[in-house]
Structure 1
Amino acid sequence: MMMVDNPRMLALDTSSQVSSVALCQGERLVAESALHLRSTHSQSLLAQIDDLLRAAGWGPADLDLLAVVTGPGAFTGVRIGVATVKGLAQVLNLPVVSVSSLTAVAMNLPLLRRPVCVFVDARKKEVYTQLFQLHDGFPRPLNQARVIAPHEALADLPLDSCFVGDGVAVYYHLILQHGFEPSARAPACCHPIQASRVAALALQDYFKGLAQRPEQVVPTYIRPSDAELNRQTNNVC
């Protein structure tokens, strides 16, 4: 697939209850929408994409590139986002850039000089977490993404870390108990993933030649699903 200098991009994230979709042309944001849903994203995502394209005066054929958050996050939400983008990419013959949810959350604090610890609630008394340092507005990982009990994640972090992600509110009491200052918590508006930030990350990777064919795009779960755990248990028995 031929690289475009100023690609028209559709970027989306469905890894949490917030469904975020953005249209960008190169670095310029054209349109963006975010919906906080109680129902699954499958009931509204295509309509959300269609409405945004219509508002921008674009059609699917105008797109040059797709970007999607592949996880970690809510298993069903991640699957819906990945499947939707793969389907569009196959029909439109477009390349896809995969973006980590943890990197996208860290991108919400682009000018911070302190280390950024992303805390995303993984349920089961665990968090998806990763530590980043921001360079020129973009997150650079300082360790591997992992799913872990929050107190274990907090034990080896620099005390000047700043926390961002939907798990921060859930485990804020633990953050304080481990000696972090109240100012270590990012404002609430910084916790959800914004598709426009996903697009900015994807554009960087696109120009690095890291775009994929649709069949190469897979979810990143980090831990196995309940169904997989049940199969493993049944096999052992």
Structure 2
Amino acid sequence: MKVLSIDTSNYVLGIGLLDGETVLGEYISNIKKNHSVRVMPAIQTLMEECNVKPGDLSKIVVAAGPGSYTGVRIGVTIAKTMAWTLKIPLSGVSSLQVAAASAGRYFDGYVSPFFDARRGQIYTGLYKFENQRLEIAKEDQLVMSADWVKALNEMDNKVLFASNDLALHQDVIKQELGNKAVFAEITELNPRPAELALLGRDKEVVDLHTFVPNYIRLAEAEANWLKAQETKR
């Protein structure tokens, strides 16, 4: 079973190929460039190097958010289009879950991946590996980082934080949690597309016509538009 994974939900662009229990290849970059013009060439290059044709694919797995509104939409749109064209199933996986699996597989405690959401807010969730299986301790949410770490301080274990946005929130985390806070190494911060493929390989299939990204919140422009419509009523 050959699985193609696609992650464009944040700055990191990740493409992975999984064949059964073998990772055939991964493409990862963490640069601020337009995913819309880079993702298809990245998919094509990786598949050609791995000698995998589109018709060989059995499933597509996409990082479904949260993250960048535009980035999440790009990845989901491409994944849905490919799955529909190739007539193969599609599964969506939380972008935060991918980050947690990439950094915390062997950490004895909780894992809190997060993405900066501006104005002191973060997209985050809380995870823990139990018997090699990633379990959800707290659902993905949008929250003030200061409120989040206060809630985590009530937990009974250390917490591993994994994020390319660590520098923006590290002081708040340290101040509240002290030695209970552990920070992932820089080599563990980019969500791995192979982890995405593995998480989604056996996950339930989505309906291509109704599947939408998990933005957690509306894009600011959309929220402002809805607010303006309410005012007019």
TM class, shorter-length: over 0.9
Distance 1:25 1:88, change over 3 A: same
Partner residue, 1:142: 137
Q: Is the 8 A contact 1:107 1:138 kept in 2?
A: no
Distance 1:204 1:135, change over 3 A: farther
Query: Which has the larger displacement, 179-188 or 120-129?
Result: 179-188
What displacement does 1:235 show?
Answer: 1.3
Q: Is the 8 A contact 1:67 1:97 kept in 2?
A: yes
Letter in 2 for 1:85: A
Query: Which has the larger displacement, 48-57 or 32-41?
Result: 32-41
Select 1:63's aligned residue among 57, 61, 64: 57
What is the aligned length?
A: 227
Distance 1:136 1:182, change over 3 A: closer
Partner residue, 1:46: 40
Partner residue, 1:132: 127
Select 2:87's aligned residue among 75, 89, 93: 93
CA offsets, 1:36-89, max 9 Å, x none? 332210111100000001001111011010000000000100000000011101
Partner of 1:12, secondary structure, is strand
Select 1:112's aligned residue among 96, 107, 114: 107
Partner residue, 1:33: 27
Partner residue, 2:170: 172
Letter in 2 for 1:15: S
What displacement does 1:215 show?
Answer: 2.0
1:174-193 matched pairs, under 5 angstroms: 174-181=172-179, 184-193=182-191
Structure with the larger strand share: 2
What displacement does 1:167 show?
Answer: 3.1
Partner of 2:25, secondary structure, is strand
CA–CA separation in structure 1 for the residues paired with 2:124 and 2:60: 25
Q: Is the 8 A contact 1:127 1:167 kept in 2?
A: no
Partner of 1:104, secondary structure, is helix
Q: TM-score, normalised by structure 1?
A: 0.91
CA–CA separation in structure 1 for the residues paired with 2:209 and 2:81: 10
What displacement does 1:191 show?
Answer: 1.4
1:156 aligns with 2:154: no
Distance 1:180 1:119, change over 3 A: farther
Query: Which has the larger displacement, 225-234 or 148-157?
Result: 225-234
CA–CA separation in structure 2 for the residues paired with 1:50 and 1:236: 45
Letter in 2 for 1:142: A
CA–CA separation in structure 2 for the residues paired with 1:95 and 1:128: 28
Query: Which has the larger displacement, 185-194 or 77-86?
Result: 185-194
What displacement does 1:226 show?
Answer: 1.1
What displacement does 1:113 show?
Answer: 1.6
CA–CA separation in structure 2 for the residues paired with 1:10 and 1:83: 15
What displacement does 1:182 show?
Answer: 8.0
Matched-pair identity in %: 26
What displacement does 1:236 show?
Answer: 2.5
CA–CA separation in structure 2 for the residues paired with 1:232 and 1:212: 28
Partner of 1:112, secondary structure, is coil
CA–CA separation in structure 1 for the residues paired with 2:98 and 2:182: 19
Q: Which runs of 5+ in 1 are unaligned?
A: 1-6
